[in-house]
Amino acid sequence: MIESPFLKIAADVLQTMPKQQAHVDEIARSAISRNMNMGLDFETLKTKINSALSSTVKRKSGSQFSRVLSKGGKEKVGPFRKGLYRLKKIRTKKPSPPILVITDKAFLAKGGEYAVASELMFREFNVSIMVVDKGVDLVAEKNNKYFNIQVKTASNNVNSWVFTIRNDSFVTNLNGQTHYALVARDESSNIFFIIPSVQIKTYLDTGVLYSNSKSTTINLKISRAPDRKNWFLGNNNLNHFMGAFHIIQ
């Protein structure tokens, strides 16, 4: 905040100068030429501006101005060029993108399907979206080969995402051509995990996942490590499945 009228004059003049810096003599001359001198003559105006600038740059914080270093000078130590001042560069943080909060799970699920369909099309798959969900949301074709894709989307819950698969649909569609695309929605971005259905069957057989004859669903809880680089299903690292659209072949 500029409380002195002479600092206001200096700031207005310096904003028009190359590198936003100038000597007090030049600042005073420019102010007079622009009728900003408050009726003062050159010597008086120069003295007032120099006094205000000299005082404000001595502050530890809050000054909009700084002195200009001489050649070989060091920041905050000097030496400085006498009578030469500049405006400090104000660094502003880029605003973070707004976080989209989806309260209706139907929109979350359908958004995940279209996100996966888009990624597949970028990889030259011809994608069809199923009208009726029978455990397969998308059918993807490439080079006359067809693949079933079941999409599950979940929101972040303290660095963990829980995906629910219906047990009967899983059993019906269990084969080498069926893949699960798990979409971990993280604020305004998506992280994709592509896991073959046969791999999920292996997780069930080895106790990584649990399901019995009375269970109607299979729950997969994916967690992100504090380093934000590693992803786990239980103790199993899932990094090799992250973004692994290439395994659909």
Model pLDDT for residues 214-227, shown as the tens digit of each residue? 779 999 999 999 99
With 80 as the cut, is the pLDDT of residue 102 above it? no
Helical segments of 41-122, H only: 42-56, 105-122
CB 242 within 8 A of CB 188: no
% of the chain at pLDDT higher than 90:
65
With 80 as the cut, is the pLDDT of residue 74 above it? no
Burial 97-114 (b: 16+ CB within 10 A, else e): eeeeeeeeeeeebebbbe
What average pLDDT does range 47-61 have in this prediction? 87
What average pLDDT does range 175-196 have in this prediction? 94
Other beta carbons less than 10 A from residue 201's beta carbon: 14
pLDDT, position 63:
84
CA distances from 170 to 67, 132, 155 (A): 71, 16, 22
